Amino acid sequence: MKFFNVKSVEETIQIINQHIHPIRETVVLPIDEALGFVLAEDVASGEAVPGFARSTVDGYAVKAKDTFGSSESLPGFLQVSGEIKMGEEARGILMDGEAMYIPTGGMLPAGSDAVVMIEHCENLDGLLNVYHQVAPGENVIRKGEDVQEGASLLVRGTRLRPQELGILAAVGITEITVYRKIRAGYISTGDEVVPYHTKQLAVGQVRDINQMTISSLIREKGGEVLFGGIVNDRYDDFLEKAQEMYGKVDFLVMSGGSSVGTLDFTTEVIGSLGKPGILIHGVSIKPGKPTIFAVADGKPVFGLPGHPASAMVIFKLFGELILQRLSGEKSSNFPNRIQARVSKNLPSDPGRSDYIRVRLESREGEWWANPVLGKSGLISTMVMSDGMLEISSEKEGVLEGEWVPVILFR
């Protein structure tokens, strides 16, 4: 099989980073609609969180020094001078030798600097027996301990997860400026491919697995998908559909037809969409060597292998990076990964990066990667896998027990 411009994994990542730039169009959204969007501005806090010192336990607000030396055998004695109500301002000042009952989350009264847990003391008609000493700040969250007023809260390029939305809510921010979602177009190719919802297959037909898997990966990364349908192996039809989709989306993806064959027009079609054209035709990787990456007048075009496992592996490695670059999300060259020990020897050819599907297993506090072997056309191997083990191009394989990087499937 002939490839025109084969690159290594590292070169492919570098080319993507060089040629793909963020789309800076923004929208303002209520924070309850902003999950998964990428922040388009730096955000600072206009207030402290919490806005007052508060207790983390049910107990008694005290001056810590008044409890020093207290123990089960020799308790300290304090006078209970009041009670803090939940959701109300603590009134009055705690004096030396005094304590006030306080619930979890209650506001510390002026003069106190710690809370004795209710389990460590006993109220006998207003006389508090303290059986455990506390240090200043114990069982207390101080004002601004979570977020200080004026502090940098979030930076531009942050993808908004539930925890980011939570901290925005904590400081009273109800709307946020984000980058709009990336519109990705997807086309399947091949005379043998039929819609995945086809009930009865004719001999030689296969359902369109890649439409489901690749579209789902795009949505999982925060993009929107426009499906262009299944295109047959005729040049004019393929070209017409590619040009139509190219004009509607920010990122065009197609699968099948990325190898060289008599009915394969992918290279010619992609090359006709704009300049500079095809930058990569073939990646030194297994699975997924027949991969095409092009830039057409600033817009990325990605040709995936037709085999389902290969297509998913390649999109995880490079398609998600393209989406990340387009979305303005803070850059990271690789998907989420962990270190694990490999459970068996795995050979590899130098000069080629290998990505082996693996199932993760916990053994005595360590992750072990068990290879899930199978051909690149088998979707079942992806179902059985938690991630893919990487053998870099300079290695001739890995040995049983060796620590290896594993890119996680989310």
Q: pLDDT tens digits for the chain (410 residues)?
A: 456 678 999 999 999 999 999 999 999 999 999 999 999 999 999 999 999 999 999 999 999 999 999 999 999 999 999 999 999 999 889 999 999 999 999 999 999 999 999 999 999 999 999 999 999 999 999 999 999 999 999 999 999 999 999 999 999 999 999 999 999 999 999 889 999 999 999 999 999 999 999 999 999 999 999 999 999 888 899 999 999 999 999 999 999 855 555 346 788 899 999 999 999 999 999 999 989 999 999 999 999 999 999 999 999 999 999 999 999 998 765 668 899 999 999 999 999 999 999 999 999 999 999 999 998 889 999 999 999 999 999 999 999 999 999 999 97
CA torsion angle 405 164 36 178 (round to 10): -120
pLDDT, residue 336, reads: 85
pTM: 0.87
CB-based burial of residue 58 (10 Å sphere; 0-12 exposed, 13-18 middle, 19+ buried)?
middle
Q: What is the number of structural domains in the chain?
A: 4
The reply to whether 258 and 313 lie within a common domain is yes
pLDDT, residue 263, reads: 43
Give domain status of residue 298, yes or no.
Answer: yes
CB-based burial of residue 352 (10 Å sphere; 0-12 exposed, 13-18 middle, 19+ buried)?
middle
CATH number of the domain at 132, please. Answer: 2.170.190.11
The reply to whether 284 and 227 lie within a common domain is yes
| Cα angle, residue 402 at apex, residues 401 and 406 outer, rounded to 5° | 110
Could you count the other beta carbons within 10 Å of the beta carbon of residue 74?
Answer: 8
Buried b (16+ CB within 10 A) or exposed e, 327-343: bbbeeeeebeeeebbbb
Could you count the other beta carbons within 10 Å of the beta carbon of residue 60?
Answer: 30
CATH number of the domain at 44, please. Answer: 3.90.105.10
| Cα–Cα dist 109/317, whole Å | 55
Name the token pair of 305.
């292998």
Domain range spanning residue 113? 54-141
Could you count the other beta carbons within 10 Å of the beta carbon of residue 376?
Answer: 19
Give domain status of residue 80, yes or no.
Answer: yes
Q: Which residues pair with 115 in a beta bridge?
A: 61
